[in-house]
Chains A and B, each alone.
Chain A
């Protein structure tokens, strides 16, 4: 018997933050121009004490790689927490913003805002959030059968919605000759190579708000997994909890998609692996998913940058290579 305590959550998260730091160092070192570990350590140490560092290191480490790594942290944490949130909300361990079509909805929202309001920087995350909300609502209602949420119908509804929205995105991308729209691969697959239009600190505040909101419901989500009526009998204000998770997970997806496009499967892989290691308790799952999602995407992007260097793969291709087989595996295991 080993009940979960706040102390244990903090210890585990501390350990995972250390692992995140290591992945950041690895990602700083890797790339088209490899930096030897000793040089990297020296430059980082000099930067920490405010000393002068070589100009090429200044450019590669602090102006090219670090912002991209921070973006990977932001996107990875958002998607993993959103995935865990959707899994509880929809009572489906296969839920993921990308699989459910929520990411495509967010991407469409972002594109529309870039066409209509190209000068307003914050418009794209806000519009992506609205797109995510709309897509979630659509999939939720399409996924019901006889008044009940049916897990396979839900997944099909999500996949079909994603496919339909992708087609709309492709249509917009080919008919709108706007120079400020990023490429099709960016929106449909996800990519971290483009710097976001909004400052990273603003995005981090939004993500912290979304993840924090979901964390306030963590203990209730544990009970919601057993069913809404049962949670209600155990004192959970089911409708309030569902609304919070629904809005917060949509916000997280919207923010992530507006800066990186539709990176898939992070919300599926990360919570699943963490459940294997730490169990299913959402009070531990939410914070570890945030850090674990960050680690996963930092490493995935480092791989995407190096695997066919000097060319770069979109990071979404890396996550799909790992995530799609895992989705099939989980789906088949659940059917038995």
Chain B
């Protein structure tokens, strides 16, 4: 089943997309989770109920210190964990109940690290994103190749097509991994710490690209990140987590309050507002 997707929605130059008359795409209502105490390999952890909504073309950032529940929340959104209570719905469907193939056509996840057992060419890797649409015996159609090529073009990586995945730089690899997610033609794009191994320039260009893709492809984008200033500069909404509790949801300006962030991150901070109205966090100089 093809989900219609417009790739030519004009950006309209708007910076406040929250005002766009889009329906809610991802709706998280009082979703919670707890790992069973029987799991030996992980300490018991619970995520208290969280609620927020994401519309198409919006970019939401999940921020918080280590072990705050960011990855657990992302797995709830990806549908690979079912919430203990509450709901996680994509266009009205509970994501954890969608069949895997159908879910992969609607939700693409860019994970932190992917280990390859055998070497792969870039184009082979991107074509993997077409698997949820494949029928047995699973040979890609010319349409699949065209979509994969377009995905590579969207991340400005067409020239990497015939390279081996193993020889790419961190930034190049991140773009190719993103291209595979785009080849899934998802409605919801999830990214787990996508800027982890990138230098500052690559971080900024990745976030710019994500925002542009959200606008043009009408994705709802959710990014888990440690980078408060990237979240502050590029996100439409921010979810702040600490020790499994959601402390605040709102625009970067609403969430980035000095006292709140100081308490969460345990460091003296200063917050400055840029001319674009975006908050920027600095470490306060020690006296």
Contact = CB atoms under 8 A, between A and B. Distances in A.
B131 A219 contact: yes
Contacts of B41: 146-147
Given A3-B140, A235-B100, A237-B101, A229 B131 contact: no
B234 interface: no
A203 B121 CA distance: 39
Interface size class of B (residues with CB under 8 A): 35 or more
Nearest to B78: A233
B103 interface: yes
A234 B100 CA distance: 8
Interface size class of A (residues with CB under 8 A): 20 to 34
Contact of B128 (A223, A238, A283): A223
A1 B142 CA distance: 13
Nearest to A8: B139
A214 to B, nearest CB: 12
B159 interface: no
B108 interface: yes
Contacts of A220: 131, 138
Given A3-B145, A6-B139, A233 B111 contact: yes
A93 B117 contact: yes
A147 B118 contact: no
Given A1-B161, A5-B139, A91-B117, A236 B40 contact: no
Contacts of B138: 218-220, 283
A226 B115 CA distance: 6
Nearest to A280: B118
Contacts of A219: 131, 134, 136-139
B31 interface: no
A141 B243 CA distance: 33
Contact of A93 (B80, B118, B139): B118
A195 to B, nearest CB: 35
A118 B114 CA distance: 51
Interface string A208-229: 0000000110111011011101
Nearest to A235: B104
A283 B137 contact: yes
A39 interface: no
Given A93-B117, A147-B41, A225-B117, A236 B131 contact: yes
A233 B105 contact: no
B130 to A, nearest CB: 9
A57 interface: no
B117 A283 contact: no
A5 B141 CA distance: 9
Nearest to A91: B117
A225 B108 contact: no
A205 B116 CA distance: 35
A73 to B, nearest CB: 23
Interface in A264-289: 275, 280-281, 283
B132 interface: yes
Contact of A215 (B129, B131, B137, B161): B137
A226 B117 contact: yes
A232 B128 CA distance: 12
A32 to B, nearest CB: 42
A63 interface: no
Contacts of A218: 137-138
Nearest to B106: A235
Given A219-B137, A283-B137, A234 B78 contact: no
B256 interface: no
A153 to B, nearest CB: 15
Interface in B19-60: 39-41
A217 B102 CA distance: 17
Interface string A67-105: 000000000000000000000000101000000000000
Contacts of A49: none
B117 A230 contact: no
Contacts of B100: 232, 235-238
Interface in B157-213: 161-162, 184
B139 A234 contact: no
B115 A275 contact: no
A223 B41 CA distance: 25
Contacts of A1: 121, 123, 161-162
Nearest to B110: A233
Contacts of A223: 128, 131
B136 A216 contact: yes
A226 B165 CA distance: 12
Chain B CB count within 10 A is highest, among A218, A230, A233, A237, for A233
A324 B119 CA distance: 24
B127 interface: yes
A235 B103 contact: yes
7 contacts: A220-B131, A233-B78, A233-B108, A236-B131, A275-B118, A280-B118, A283-B138
- The list of the 9 closest CB pairs from A to B, nearest first, reads A219-B138, A235-B104, A235-B132, A280-B118, A235-B101, A147-B41, A225-B117, A233-B109, A237-B100
Given A3-B123, A283-B138, 12 more contacts: A1-B121, A6-B137, A147-B41, A216-B137, A223-B131, A225-B116, A227-B115, A234-B131, A235-B101, A235-B103, A237-B100, A280-B119
